[in-house]
Structure 1
Amino acid sequence: MCGIAGIININTTSPISSHLVSMTKSMINRGPDDEGYLLFNDTSIPYSGDDTLYKNCDHINSTFSKSSKLGFGFRQLKIIDLSNNSHQPMCDLDRKYWIVFNGEIYNFKEIRSELQSLGYTFFSDSDTEVVLNAYKKWGDKCLDKFNGMFAFAIFDKVKNEVFFARDRVGIKPLYYHINQDQILFGSTIKSIIDSKLYTPKINWKGLWQNFRFSIAQRPETCLENIVALEPAHYLKFNFDSKTFIKKQYWEIPINTQNFSLTEKQSVNLIEESLYNSIKYRLNADVEVGSFMSGGIDSTTISVIASKLNPNIKTMTLGFNDFEDYNEVEQAIETAKLHNLNHKITYIHPTEIIQNINETTVAYEEPYHHLSANFILARIAKENNIKVVLNGLGGDELFGGYDVYKKLNLWENLKKNKKLIKSIPKIHPKINKAHQLSNYKTIDEYYSHYYTTYKDSSLKKLFTDHNYSTKNLISNNFNPKNLQFTDNFEAISFYNLKSYIGSHQMRTLDQFTMNFSIEGRLPLLDHKFIETAFKIPTKYKLKNNSQKYIFKEVAKKYISPSCLSMSKKGLRLPLEHWIKSDLYDLVYDNINQLKNRNIFNNSEVDKIVKGKDEMKIWQLVSTELWLNNYIKQK
């Protein structure tokens, strides 16, 4: 798990190493254990940095006046193969291929054995060398072999091109900026800014999307001309032709439901696939821990992990002053059932409030809430854990959110709008139900649930800008107009593309790596996703019970109280804090934002008076983001 960076001169050669060092040093939290560089003009030459463990080459600082065609920078968090043999940038034995790799390939030992049978030899025990030789053997088809999370760049001297790739779900990030002369890429947006070769400016389209959906929908970001390589895509740049080729190599497996499966067969399939996924993610040369909230997903994962590794540490977050947010009791009951090595950490609001600016810098873009992942990662760090399992993905795959539960209502309203009059009696908790009947397509319905602002409201707020996001979800994530088996499947598809791929992956990766922690996600293993999409919808939402089939697996392992409690999620009491501990910070930043005159200030005042904490915090985080990333007024 690491941070990667690079600069590619498209048309000429120029000195780039000082900029490359700045990019790489900005990611020291992602890789505090080692540092390395590669420069290429006519030959490929590796260089060391201040933190390089095995200094058998010249220091990168000696090259600041040297012109280069390409440069790679690398920061390493040592997880697999702790020896110097895993140092990057890494080359093959013929020195024709060079790689910077961020991530983990969980099945690298199987691929390594296959390559050895084909005559390949290895000098390390790292998965990085497996990726490099797999590319050497199979080219872009190597991506079909990998089970893992990854973002990497390979300089292919034979084809005179650079090959970039990102994992299927987008767990590991890869951002890039292309101008007429150069390509800049890195694991973080900040690394590109810190190159000093790019001037940060607001991408108004991305910021609009950020306010609409809480995150710019990838590949868009809130920074002008910085984009994300999409999940399950690769990108090639050829030096000779000066051309780019981008292709998708995997798709979420819709229309694969196996209607012949019985309920028991479905339970067995899920359980077997989950065991395999967790077993892969326990493979490390450092200690692995597990976050265990007390909810169904992370608790089930933690217990199964303990069966495979009895000494694994399980960690639970508790709140001293907010019982409604706690799932500690349920976690304790499960821990006692299985005699887990369990640690509970209680926090006070001040522990988060004191780090507001740090979280903003780590997040890299505005966000309408505060993320508990920041504190969870810090807890893992305090427990000397480098790798943690996380339960993200269960709600998206098996229907844990309200958006799934109300599908039936929306479908009925589409057929008969007269039902609206009876909704208060049938569904007393549904607000603005009449709006549901106005959404004609499944992507419009989806967008309704994953939005903070409407376009009409943003048109008033963004005085000089106007965009429509009506068809954004389908245009971004389903441009081929794929047809779904049913609407439940469509929501899962869009959740993996938008909510997971654009939003959740960013928060989890940024905050874990901020503390030099690797987060692993068993429920987002692509084989597990393929298994989940085979399970008929009728077993996912049965008798109005959400995640029914996953609960049937979970009840073998976790306390009954985990199954019976209402869904809480990993939340922080932002609404309360805005009125108390965060009051001064909120209004100071709102006033600073108003002084910028980039929004309609009368609309800003209306939002503040409306007391919607998500909308208020979106404004606050925008000011914090502007202050950290957009220096000019």
Structure 2
Amino acid sequence: MCGINGIISLHRDAGGIVHAMNRHLHHRGPDGDGVYIADPLALGHVRLSILDLTNAGAQPMQFGCWVIVFNGEIYNFQALRDILVTHGYQFSSRSDTEVLLKAWDCWGEDCLAKLEGMFAFAIYDTQERRLHLCRDSYGVKPLFYSLTNNEFLFSSELSTLVHAQATLPEPDRDAISTYLALHYIPAPQTGLMNLFKLPSGHRMTVSFAESRIQALEPIQWDKPFEPYDNAIGITVDALDQALAHSVKQQMVSDVPLGAFLSGGVDSSLICHYASQVHKEPLHTFSIGFTDAGPEYDETAYAARAAKLLGSQHHAVCVELGSLSEHIDDILSRIGELNADSSVFLNHIVCAAAREHVTVCLSGAGGDELFGGYYRHQALLALEQLNYFPKSVVRLFIKMLSPFPQNRDNRLGNLVRRMIRFLEQREGDGGLIGMIRQDRVYPQQSLFLSKSPPRTLLKVLEYDFRHFLGDNILCFSDKMSMLHGLEVRVPFLDPGVVRLAEQMQNRQRVTLGEKKVLLKQLAARYFPHDLIYRKKQGFAAPVEVWLRKLRKAELKRRCMDGLVTQLLPEGVIDDLVENFVIRNRDLSLQLYSLIVMNQWFANL
């Protein structure tokens, strides 16, 4: 796991800029750095050593006419190495980078389909003067780029790309409109003009001559997840074997390895398989709030699962009193525009994990692959709701409206969800109507204008590509790499993903249960009440934190920055007034404005 950078510039010092980019990315690679300079091109790499800790694995790495900088892990590199040996290739290291480099030399871009892993890399053809950028199928490893003023730059992090620009980029109002609705920005947009994220499963080629740089449009080399309703379905045994294989393959490491454990279905299963392989008690990590109520604390469930697994468990307990300090610190370093409240929980638990291990397994992807969100059930229920006259539905909403609708209260959260669900009777019945957060200040953007997914299969595909790929995986990478921690995602193994595509819909979600088949598998190894308990999710008590702020301070934070260029002051006044005086839960909307101000101020 590392950080990569590069530049092709016809008018600036490429070597000097790539050295500066490496320094900005030092947190991603504290174990070493390197550069390759061949004006007008320069490539940079910072290294977090995971496999082959010797200098033989250092980058940039060269072979023949190729030079590569690579971030990620290729889990099947040993099998690929054996195949390449039969083609006459020899190896001087135990690193997956050398295997990737020679796989590209052997098969070219066709090697991408042979890779099992998480990756973002740039490989330069010194003969043709072409640079190829590639990103893994599922978007685990990020890659940002820009082409402005006849200058091409790329980096593992948006903030590094911004710092390398000749001038500060302007905000992209269309992308920010999407952010205000969804609280993250789908690729390829980033929130800044002319700065882009290479979408998952895409590659692009950049060529240059003496007076011109040309970047071709990104090409999709793999479509990550296409679920269908298979009449045959899959068996629990097949899923069991696929997950066991994935976890075992992803545990190859020359440094200490552990796993996140919330006590939920996904992380508990990953930790089960890891414990079967790990020779010593597995280090496991959870996080919870000591004074925010049971809605925000799963540490008791995690401790119970850890005891069953025999792991060496570490529970991180956070007090609300210190939350403001954590939030301000993390928002100053996030780099990307994202208002998911899980961001700073990720930051805190990654910091704790890094004290013990260098690699951590995560349960991310289980909800998107197997149908784990309430909205997946809601889509099924919408078919029944449409039989009710709209007048009856409006009456139900009117009856529920006086009740609390707060996320930090179990009843209030239920009422909030019921109202949001019933309101879909008036809407278009699509996913975006369920999840968008901009009802107080409706937004329009190119992304929001697309026809929304309306069926369970299309919603699962959307959640996998965007909610997981453009949101969860993005902040997980950023928060973990701030601490030099590599996070691996066993659910995102091609064998597991292909199986998840082939399930029957009733193995995914029913009106009475989410993640039907996955829970049946988990119940083989854990008690029924641990697996079939109410889903809590990995969220922070943002509403509790915001209610501790004075009204004037809350408004100042919302008005202090970019927001004033995009929303009228009256809209923000109404948000604050309804939140503070009328006790409406508008915490996520207010938090998203605070995040946006902090993000732009720290560019």
Q: TM-score, normalised by structure 1?
A: 0.86
User: Structure 1 residue 437: deviation in Å?
Assistant: 2.7
Partner of 2:350: 377
Separation in 1 of the partners of 2:68 and 2:350?
A: 28
Is 1:170 paired with 2:139? yes
**Relative to 1, partners in 2 of residues 1:607 and 1:597: Cα closer, same or farther, differing over 3 Å?**
same
CA contact (8 A) 2:120 2:141 kept: yes
Alignment of 1:261-276 (within 5 A): 261=233, 266-276=235-245
Alignment of 1:7-156 (within 5 A): 7-9=7-9, 12=10, 14-40=12-38, 68-92=39-63, 94=64, 96-156=65-125
Partner of 1:430: 418
Partner of 1:471: 449
Q: What code does the residue aligned with 1:250 have?
A: D
Separation in 2 of the partners of 1:143 and 1:343?
A: 38
Partner of 1:46: none
Secondary structure of residue in 1 paired with 2:441: helix
Secondary structure of residue in 2 paired with 1:194: helix
Separation in 2 of the partners of 1:595 and 1:204?
A: 11
Partner of 1:621: 595
Separation in 2 of the partners of 1:594 and 1:14?
A: 30
**Relative to 1, partners in 2 of residues 1:468 and 1:108: Cα closer, same or farther, differing over 3 Å?**
closer
**Relative to 1, partners in 2 of residues 1:581 and 1:390: Cα closer, same or farther, differing over 3 Å?**
farther
Partner of 1:330: 301
Secondary structure of residue in 1 paired with 2:419: coil
Separation in 1 of the partners of 2:24 and 2:550?
A: 29
CA contact (8 A) 1:39 1:70 kept: yes
User: Structure 1 residue 438: deviation in Å?
Assistant: 4.1
Partner of 2:4: 4
User: Structure 1 residue 344: deviation in Å?
Assistant: 1.8
CA contact (8 A) 1:6 1:186 kept: yes
Separation in 1 of the partners of 2:550 and 2:114?
A: 48
**Relative to 1, partners in 2 of residues 1:386 and 1:595: Cα closer, same or farther, differing over 3 Å?**
closer
User: Structure 1 residue 545: deviation in Å?
Assistant: 1.2
**Relative to 1, partners in 2 of residues 1:255 and 1:433: Cα closer, same or farther, differing over 3 Å?**
closer
Q: What code does the residue aligned with 2:587 have?
A: E
User: Structure 1 residue 398: deviation in Å?
Assistant: 1.4
Alignment of 1:162-561 (within 5 A): 162-239=131-208, 242=214, 244-254=216-226, 256-261=228-233, 266-311=235-280, 312-324=282-294, 325-370=296-341, 371=343, 372-383=345-356, 385-414=357-386, 417=389, 420=393, 430-440=418-428, 445-454=430-439, 457-458=441-442, 467=445, 469-472=447-450, 487-542=455-510, 544-561=512-529
Q: What code does the residue aligned with 2:425 have?
A: S
Deviations 1:123-146 (A, max 9, x none): 111111111111111111110010
Partner of 1:481: none
CA contact (8 A) 1:237 1:245 kept: no
User: Structure 1 residue 416: deviation in Å?
Assistant: 6.0
CA contact (8 A) 2:563 2:596 kept: no
CA contact (8 A) 2:270 2:363 kept: yes
**Relative to 1, partners in 2 of residues 1:432 and 1:117: Cα closer, same or farther, differing over 3 Å?**
closer
User: Structure 1 residue 301: deviation in Å?
Assistant: 0.8
User: Structure 1 residue 29: deviation in Å?
Assistant: 0.7
User: Structure 1 residue 434: deviation in Å?
Assistant: 4.8
Q: What code does the residue aligned with 1:33 have?
A: D
Q: What code does the residue aligned with 1:320 have?
A: T
Q: What code does the residue aligned with 1:349 have?
A: L
Q: What code does the residue aligned with 1:132 have?
A: L
CA contact (8 A) 2:563 2:597 kept: no
Q: What code does the residue aligned with 1:376 have?
A: V
The farther-off stretch of 368-377 and 172-181 is 368-377
Separation in 2 of the partners of 1:362 and 1:148?
A: 27
User: Structure 1 residue 399: deviation in Å?
Assistant: 1.4
CA contact (8 A) 2:251 2:257 kept: yes
Separation in 1 of the partners of 2:35 and 2:298?
A: 45
Deviations 1:351-372 (A, max 9, x none): 4422333311332234334321
Secondary structure of residue in 2 paired with 1:545: coil
Q: What code does the residue aligned with 1:386 have?
A: T
User: Structure 1 residue 239: deviation in Å?
Assistant: 2.6
Partner of 2:545: 577
User: Structure 1 residue 471: deviation in Å?
Assistant: 3.0
What runs of 5+ residues in structure 2 fail to find an aligned partner? 401-413, 580-585
Separation in 2 of the partners of 1:621 and 1:433?
A: 27
Q: What code does the residue aligned with 2:36 have?
A: L
**Relative to 1, partners in 2 of residues 1:511 and 1:595: Cα closer, same or farther, differing over 3 Å?**
closer
The farther-off stretch of 72-81 and 414-423 is 414-423
Secondary structure of residue in 2 paired with 1:6: strand
Task: Give RMSD over aligned pairs.
Answer: 2.5
**Relative to 1, partners in 2 of residues 1:251 and 1:615: Cα closer, same or farther, differing over 3 Å?**
same
**Relative to 1, partners in 2 of residues 1:346 and 1:238: Cα closer, same or farther, differing over 3 Å?**
same
CA contact (8 A) 2:204 2:215 kept: no
**Relative to 1, partners in 2 of residues 1:472 and 1:32: Cα closer, same or farther, differing over 3 Å?**
farther
**Relative to 1, partners in 2 of residues 1:355 and 1:585: Cα closer, same or farther, differing over 3 Å?**
farther
User: Structure 1 residue 78: deviation in Å?
Assistant: 0.5
Q: What code does the residue aligned with 1:627 have?
A: A
**Relative to 1, partners in 2 of residues 1:452 and 1:627: Cα closer, same or farther, differing over 3 Å?**
same
Q: What code does the residue aligned with 1:106 have?
A: Y
Percent identity, please: 26
CA contact (8 A) 2:561 2:601 kept: no
The farther-off stretch of 420-429 and 312-321 is 420-429
Secondary structure of residue in 2 paired with 1:519: strand
**Relative to 1, partners in 2 of residues 1:346 and 1:489: Cα closer, same or farther, differing over 3 Å?**
same
The farther-off stretch of 541-550 and 502-511 is 541-550
The farther-off stretch of 404-413 and 155-164 is 404-413
**Relative to 1, partners in 2 of residues 1:190 and 1:551: Cα closer, same or farther, differing over 3 Å?**
same
Separation in 1 of the partners of 2:279 and 2:532?
A: 27
What runs of 5+ residues in structure 1 fail to find an aligned partner? 41-67, 460-465, 479-485
Deviations 1:586-624 (A, max 9, x none): 444234238955431111111111211111111111221
User: Structure 1 residue 534: deviation in Å?
Assistant: 0.7
Secondary structure of residue in 2 paired with 1:234: strand
CA contact (8 A) 1:369 1:574 kept: no
User: Structure 1 residue 439: deviation in Å?
Assistant: 4.2
Secondary structure of residue in 2 paired with 1:210: helix
User: Structure 1 residue 335: deviation in Å?
Assistant: 2.0
Deviations 1:163-219 (A, max 9, x none): 100001111000001014110100011111221424222111111111111112211
CA contact (8 A) 2:205 2:218 kept: yes
